[in-house]
């Protein structure tokens, strides 16, 4: 799928974010592609009836890779979006960011 096709279904920006640029996460696409390859490999392992612990090892590796990407995007959100909301002294936007964080973490 081409980048333009991926972006066509992108969600609109959240309320309060129109005045600031959204961080660019395209650097994570290569890592996501690698995880996709891992998932395809796991699918092949299951089809080939590979040993259960070997499949579980690969599942843990793919999960860890996704968690690492998630953590980086979360850090970027805190440093960029959340930081800007708090520095702008917009109490409503700051409260929205707090709720986003709570929903993301719990």
Give the C-alpha separation, 35 to 62, whole Å: 6
- What pLDDT sits at residue 21? 73
In a domain, 56, yes or no: yes
**8-12, 37-41, 71-75, 99-103: least confidently modelled range:** 8-12
CATH code for position 57: 1.20.58.1000
Residue reference for tokens 């799928």: 1
Render pLDDT for 53-96 as a digit per residue (tens, 0 to 9): 999 999 999 999 999 999 999 999 888 888 888 888 888 988 99
Give per-residue pLDDT as tens, 18-60.
Answer: 456 778 899 999 999 999 999 999 999 999 999 999 999 999 9
Query: What are φ and ψ of residue 92, in 5° steps?
Result: -65, -45
For residue 60, being part of any structural domain is answered with yes
């Amino acid at each position: 799928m081409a980048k333009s096709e991926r972006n066509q279904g992108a969600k609109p920006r959240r309320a309060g974010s129109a005045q600031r640029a959204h961080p660019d996460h395209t650097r994570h696409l290569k890592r996501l592609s690698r995880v996709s390859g891992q998932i395809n490999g796991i699918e092949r392992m299951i089809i080939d009836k590979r040993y259960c612990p070997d499949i579980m090892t690969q599942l843990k590796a793919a999960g860890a890779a996704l968690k690492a990407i998630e953590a980086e995007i979360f850090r970027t959100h805190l440093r960029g979006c959340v930081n800007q909301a708090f520095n702008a002294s917009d109490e409503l936007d700051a409260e929205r960011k707090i709720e986003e964080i709570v929903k993301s973490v719990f």
